[in-house]
């Protein structure tokens, strides 16, 4: 359901596979690989939580709000700052999830798995704009969650 989101997560350096199989296979795969399920399917999300598989429910549309939802969940789960989610150490190939290595002048990258070449061209500033607004959204969400948490305990 979220092929586009999978490509964005790879861009951020997250090892992401796009699952086309049925719920049972997705759950088994997540259990054996330790992957986090990202879905808009409420039923699949419920099944996952019931089986103790980590799962993030994301909105059906809007890459910024989808990334924000994942950032909030992941940062809470692993005790990170929301910002850290958006600051990858290395990006992955958006086509095949392979690892990228620098080539030549440091502005070019090549995928070690499929050979696809990337360069930091003009499209990069568009990507950064999207990531910036996703980050702002995630910060807003996590502050709201923290306030809610404080009022519950206090």
Q: In terms of CB distance, is 94 or 142 closer to Zn ion? A: 94
Residue with tokens 């929301």: 82
DSSP state of 92: B
Minimum gap (Å) between residue 94 Cβ and Zn ion: 8
Q: In terms of CB distance, is 116 or 133 closer to Zn ion? A: 116
The rounded distance, in Å, linking the Cα atoms of 125 and 32 is 37
The tokens describing 92, both together, are 């992955």
Chain residues that interact with Zn ion, rule: CB under 5 A: 93, 95-96, 98, 111, 113-114, 116
Minimum gap (Å) between residue 110 Cβ and Zn ion: 9
Q: In terms of CB distance, is 38 or 100 closer to Zn ion? A: 100
The rounded distance, in Å, linking the Cα atoms of 7 and 127 is 12
Q: In terms of CB distance, is 116 or 130 closer to Zn ion? A: 116
CA distances from 28 to 10, 49, 52, 74, 103 (A): 22, 13, 12, 21, 37
Minimum gap (Å) between residue 95 Cβ and Zn ion: 5
């Amino acid at each position: 359901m979220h092929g586009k989101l999978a490509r964005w997560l790879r861009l951020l350096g997250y090892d992401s596979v796009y699952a086309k199989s049925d719920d049972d296979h997705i759950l088994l795969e997540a259990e054996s690989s330790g992957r986090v399920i990202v879905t808009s399917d409420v039923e699949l999300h419920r099944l996952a939580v019931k089986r103790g598989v980590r799962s993030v429910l994301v909105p059906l549309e809007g890459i910024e709000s989808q990334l924000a939802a994942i950032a909030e969940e992941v940062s809470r789960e692993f005790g990170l700052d929301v910002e850290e989610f958006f600051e990858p150490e290395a990006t992955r190939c958006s086509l095949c999830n392979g690892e990228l290595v620098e080539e030549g002048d440091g502005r070019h990258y090549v995928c070690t798995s499929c050979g696809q070449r990337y360069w930091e061209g003009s499209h990069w500033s568009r990507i950064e704009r999207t990531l910036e607004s996703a980050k702002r959204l995630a910060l807003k969400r996590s502050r709201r969650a923290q306030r809610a948490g404080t009022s519950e305990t206090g």
